[in-house]
Every structure is written in C-alpha cells, then in structure tokens.
C-alpha cells in the first residue's frame, strides 16, 4: 500500500507540474528570455467579451453568385453558338438577371441551339419562348435544383475565403461560423482597427483584366450612350500634388480577358521611382501562358486592371509580357497594399456580403469583465473553502487542497490547448468551484456514517470512497454528456461555458476522488492515525 501511495503521489505531482508549466505564462509577464524562445509562452487566449474586438453578422447575396454564374454561362453559350455557326441574336438578361434570352430566325437554328444546350450545358435549361414575326425568342435559366446547390456553395466558399483572409491578417482565435441559410457570424478578438478589418472582410476582391475601348468616344459613353460590348468604369488614382483621390471615367471592353483565379501569389513591393508600395502579382503556369498570349495580342493597347469594378491602373502594353508577372499600383498606403495583397491571395468572394450587425467591445470593458469575474471566482472559492473547514474540519482542508488543484488543472488545460476563455467560461469556472467539492461532501458523509457505526479509520475511508464512487461517477458523467451537447450544438458563449465546465468536471473527478484518497491513505498507513477529523 505504501508503494501504491508513492506511485499515485508521483502521478499527481507530474500532472500538476505540467499544468503549472503551461499556466505560468498567464500568471506573469516577466518570463526569462530562454523560456520565451524555447518553452511554451502563450497566455490563455481570451474571447471577444474579455479582450475586446469586433462582432459581425454578414449576409451573403447568394442571388448575385447565381447571376455571375449565369452571366459566364450565357457568354460561353454565345461563343459556342458562334463557333458552331448557329444564327442567333442575344437579346438581354431578364428576370432580375437570373435568365438570358436568345432570338433565332428559323427552326433549324433553334434546334441546333437546343442540342448544344443539352450536350454541353447541363446546368442550363430553356424556359419560355415567344414567336414574333417568324423569329423565336427563347429564355435560358439555371436549373432550379442547381440554384440551391450554387447558393450553398457560395456560402461555403465565402466562409473559406473570409477564414483565409482573417488568418493572413493575423487574428488569433477568430470565430467564423455559418448562421441560417445565408449569414456568417464573425468574432475577431483583439482587433482595434475595426474599419480596416471590415474592409478586409467585406471586399469582394474580384480581379479582372479588360482591354480599354479606344474605338468609341468616351464623351458619348459618359452621356449615357455606352456602345454594345463596352462598359463605362472609373479609374481610381491619387493626385500626387494635392493628395486628392480622383475618379476618372474610362471606357472598357465588356469582355474580361483574364481574372484573378489564375493568381499564384500577391505580395507588397516598393517602387523604385517614387518609393510607393504596390502589389506584385505572379500567375500560375496556365495564367502565365494566358497573360503572355493576351499581352502579345494587344501590344500598344491599354489593359485595365479592375478590382471590384474600380480601375486601379490602365497601362499601355508596350510588348508581350512573359513570365507571368504583373503589378497593381494606385498610390497605396502600406496598409492598403498589404490588405489588397491579402484579399487577392485569399481569393475573391463568390458573392457580395452586407454587414447586418456590428458590435465593438472595447478592451476596457473586457478588462472590467475579467476583474469582476476574477472577484466572483475568488469570493466563491473563499466561501466554499470556509464552509468545508467549518463543517468538515481537517477533512475540509483536504477537500480545499483538491479544489485548488482543480483550478490549476483547469486553467493549465486552457493554456496548453489554446482554448479560448470567455465570460460564460468564467461562469463555468465559478460553477465548478461548487461542483468539485460536491463529490467530497458525498464521500465525507459516507465516512461519517461508517465512523458512527464503530468502524476503524481505514475501513471507514475504504467504504466511504467505495460506496460513494458510483454515485459521483454517475452524476459527473451525466453532467459531462450535457456539456458535450452544449459544445456540439451551441455557438460562441455557450461553447465557452461548455468547455470550461466539461474540463472542470474531469479535473474534479481526478482531484476529489484520486488526490484526496492519496492524502487519507498517507495518514492512515504512514502516520497510523487513530481518528479522522470529519
């Protein structure tokens, strides 16, 4: 038995030292340099409600994602019909841009169109048709079943893209989760520049390369006479002398010759001439080939670099550009250039997002929550400890030792596994303070009954622990199952509460049953006590 006590005591010491090892960085800011470089130095991560930050609810415009896919499919279908020499006229997009119309002069052209649609465009279907003056106009739309799948994929892609942007922005412990059919909840702890974060997250970042239309007069387009196949855009630039941001009209070919989907990397560089930051782009192998071909076909023409509909630059292509490199310049600040490179690397959002709800928690409010939570935990701990000492005497001291070790193990776990501590998590810790001594209360009451029955201390302790164990296990396992459901189906604050409560339950089983038994066995077997103060 004495050897068993030594082994169990050694296990307890190792577990407690390991918890302290991870907990120390959270207790002090004066760690030695050796520790900071070679040992775990991360503090317990704090949630949004404790360290401040930003809470956003975004709505994804999934209809825009469907419109974009229809637009690309309709453009592709036009090119296929021209390649197959099918006679047609593209009329317009209809039905809130969710369908497109094609006009055919005869039944043979209509039949050829239907065959191409069936063979090459499984996501599209022909809808209503109208015959006027011998010409038949057919609408084309995306199949209803496919629309639901596209909207779901838009949400999933938006989640992944935003998550990539936030990760590259350097936010620790962000929470990015879907809510409902078309919403995303984002919590970014520790963010101070909220406007920059919102711009980074909400920017669609659709990068397009388009040829400038220099064949038609710009003045006519500005007056509203935009020629077919062209579009009016605005070039974003900064006047170097006044520092004012100027939007100049520019006429572009509507066709996108290349998109940012071929990007391999985007990084910030510094210009040699003015020392201003710009974004250097590098395309993948296929993108490099396409860029080489496009620039070769458009030498001496201007190619506009368009981001989310705004033209950032429109340089003249002096010669074929090989190697797959390009750049975006626009009198950026360093932060603007960094953020632009982040969103380009992370990829474009498949659909625009709108911020429906925004809450900012200041760090002072978070610190106030920490202080009050710490006071609540300290007062609860003191009250429980006093009750145990008064009611159970020296056995209450044993229970209090287990209670303190329970707190050390719980906080050590949070630090070791980088589990975020939230305000509801602090509430879970306060609750655990009461729950952790509950097991000892059951054991001590059973020991009291055995002592009243005239049993020796050794028999009373063995019987007390033996008979109370199943009840303690049953109670804690039921509570743990409830915590697991809360963690699995809850969000945000609920998960924080479930996390600390479940870890605390496991720690209390270890300390209240395993550790206290070691102490009792030590005094019974080593010190040969004749009575138990309980």
> What is the C-alpha to C-alpha distance for residues 373 and 250, in angstroms, rounded to an integer?
58
> Does residue 198 register a pLDDT over 80?
yes
> What is the C-alpha to C-alpha distance for residues 78 and 71, in angstroms, rounded to an integer?
11
Residue ranges, comma separated, of all CATH 3.90.1070 domains in the chain are 63-147
The pTM of this model reads 0.64
Contacts of 91 (CB under 8 A, 6+ apart): 100, 101, 102, 103, 137
Percent of residues, the chain, with pLDDT higher than 90: 15
> Does residue 238 register a pLDDT over 80?
no
CB atoms within 10 A of CB 29: 7
> Does residue 14 register a pLDDT over 90?
yes
Alpha helical stretches, state H, 170-281:
194-202, 218-222
Q: What is the predicted pLDDT for the residue at 516?
A: 92
Give the CATH class of 2-52+363-526. Answer: mainly alpha
List pLDDT tens digits, range 477-491: 888 898 888 888 776
Residue 168, both tokens: 């590259």
List pLDDT tens digits, range 87-97: 888 776 655 56
> Does residue 172 register a pLDDT over 70?
no
β-strands 207-211, 303-307 pairing: antiparallel
Q: What is the predicted pLDDT for the residue at 13?
A: 92
Q: What is the predicted pLDDT for the residue at 252?
A: 94
Q: What is the predicted pLDDT for the residue at 181?
A: 86
Residue ranges, comma separated, of all CATH 3.30.1360.200 domains in the chain are 203-360
**What kind of fold does domain 203-360 have according to CATH?**
Gyrase A; domain 2 (3.30.1360)
Strand order across the 353-361 sheet: 175-179, 183-189, 53-60, 353-361
List pLDDT tens digits, range 441-476: 999 999 999 898 888 888 999 998 988 888 888 888
What would the mean pLDDT of 17-33 be, rounded to a whole number?
86
- The answer to whether 129 and 139 have CB atoms below 8 angstroms apart is yes
> Does residue 397 register a pLDDT over 90?
yes
> Does residue 205 register a pLDDT over 70?
yes
Left (φ > 0), alpha (ψ -120 to 50) or beta: where does 67 sit? Answer: alpha
Q: What is the predicted pLDDT for the residue at 241?
A: 61
φ, ψ for residue 55, nearest 5 deg:
-120, 125
| 63-147: CATH number | 3.90.1070
What would the mean pLDDT of 47-60 be, rounded to a whole number?
83
What would the mean pLDDT of 249-258 be, rounded to a whole number?
89
Q: What is the predicted pLDDT for the residue at 400?
A: 92
Residue ranges, comma separated, of all CATH 1.20.1640.10 domains in the chain are 2-52+363-526
């Amino acid at each position: 038995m004495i050897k068993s006590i030594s082994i169990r005591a050694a296990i307890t010491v190792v577990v407690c030292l390991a918890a302290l090892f991870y907990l120390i960085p959270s207790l002090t800011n004066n760690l030695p340099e050796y520790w900071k470089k070679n040992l775990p130095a991360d503090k317990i991560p704090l949630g949004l409600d404790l360290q401040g930050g930003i809470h956003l609810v975004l709505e994804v415009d999934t209809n825009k994602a469907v419109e974009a896919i229809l637009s690309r499919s309709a453009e592709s279908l036009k090119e296929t019909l021209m390649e197959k020499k099918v006679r047609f006229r593209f009329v317009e997009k209809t039905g809130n841009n969710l369908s497109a119309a094609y006009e055919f002069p005869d039944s043979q052209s209509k039949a050829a169109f239907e065959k191409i649609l069936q063979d090459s465009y499984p996501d599209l279907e022909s809808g209503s048709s109208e015959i006027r003056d011998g010409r038949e106009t057919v609408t084309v739309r995306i199949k209803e079943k496919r629309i639901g799948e596209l909207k779901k994929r838009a949400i999933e892609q938006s989640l992944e893209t935003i998550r990539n942007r936030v990760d590259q922005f350097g936010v620790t412990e962000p929470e990015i989760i879907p809510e409902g059919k078309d919403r995303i909840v984002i919590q970014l702890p520790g963010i101070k520049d909220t406007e920059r974060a919102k711009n980074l997250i909400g920017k669609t970042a659709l990068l397009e390369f388009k040829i400038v239309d220099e064949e038609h007069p710009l003045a006519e387009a500005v007056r509203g006479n935009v020629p077919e196949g062209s579009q009016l855009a605005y070039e974003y630039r900064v006047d170097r002398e006044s520092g004012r941001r100027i939007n100049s009209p520019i006429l572009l070919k509507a066709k996108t010759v290349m998109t940012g989907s071929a990007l391999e990397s985007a990084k910030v560089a510094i210009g040699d001439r003015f020392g201003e930051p710009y974004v250097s782009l590098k395309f993948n192998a296929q993108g490099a080939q396409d860029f080489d071909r496009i620039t070769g076909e458009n030498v001496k023409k201007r190619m506009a670099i368009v981001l989310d509909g705004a033209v950032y630059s429109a340089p003249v292509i002096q010669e074929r550009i090989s190697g797959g490199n390009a750049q975006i310049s626009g009198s950026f600040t360093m932060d603007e250039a960094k953020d632009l490179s982040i969103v380009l690397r992370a990829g474009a959002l498949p659909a625009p997002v709108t911020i429906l709800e925004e809450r900012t928690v200041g760090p002072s409010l978070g610190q106030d929550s920490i202080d009050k939570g710490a006071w609540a935990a300290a007062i609860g701990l003191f009250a429980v400890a006093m009750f145990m000492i008064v009611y159970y005497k020296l056995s209450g001291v044993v229970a209090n030792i287990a209670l303190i070790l329970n707190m050390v193990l719980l906080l050590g776990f949070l630090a070791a596994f980088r589990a975020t501590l939230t305000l509801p998590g602090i509430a879970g810790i306060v609750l655990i303070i009461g729950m952790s001594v509950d097991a000892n209360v059951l054991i001590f009451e059973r020991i009291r009954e055995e002592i009243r029955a005239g049993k020796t201390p050794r028999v009373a302790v063995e019987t007390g622990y033996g008979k109370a164990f199943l009840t303690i296990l049953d109670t804690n396992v039921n509570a743990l199952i409830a915590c697991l459901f809360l963690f699995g189906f809850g969000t945000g604050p609920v998960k924080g509460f479930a996390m600390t409560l479940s870890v605390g339950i496991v720690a209390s089983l270890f300390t209240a049953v395993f550790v206290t038994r070691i102490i009792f066995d030590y005094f019974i077997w080593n010190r040969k006590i004749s009575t138990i103060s309980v």
